[in-house]
Amino acid sequence: MIEVCEAIYQGDYKIWIKFNTGESGVVDLFDLVQKYKVAEPLLDTNEFKKLYLDGWPILAWPCGFDLAPESLYERATGKRVEWLTN
């Protein structure tokens, strides 16, 4: 199971993420912030900066928007999560 261990805001809509696999990378989430109505408040980068890891741990924001660790892993590493493709 892929888990996010650490997430650090990098500027604009970019976040550096470290996973429990030891891998890390930077993801640009601007496309997702534009796509989903619940993420609309995050178009303000001051709101986007308020990211946190919830108790699962899942990358989340106070507005209710969150992202699955597996999708972040694929964006950050370019690798497919095997169980998602079966």
Under DSSP, is residue 9 helix (H, G, I), strand (E, B) or coil? strand
Give residue-wise pLDDT tens across range 45-75. Answer: 999 999 999 988 999 999 999 999 999 999 9
* pTM for this prediction: 0.90
Residue 85 has pLDDT above 70, yes or no: no
Domains of the chain: 4-85 (3.30.2020.10)
Which pLDDT belongs to residue 81?
A: 85
Q: Which residue has the higher pLDDT, 86 or 23?
A: 23
Residue 86 has pLDDT above 90, yes or no: no
Which pLDDT belongs to residue 30?
A: 98
Q: Calculate the alpha carbon distances from 27 to 19, 59, 86 in Å.
A: 13, 12, 24
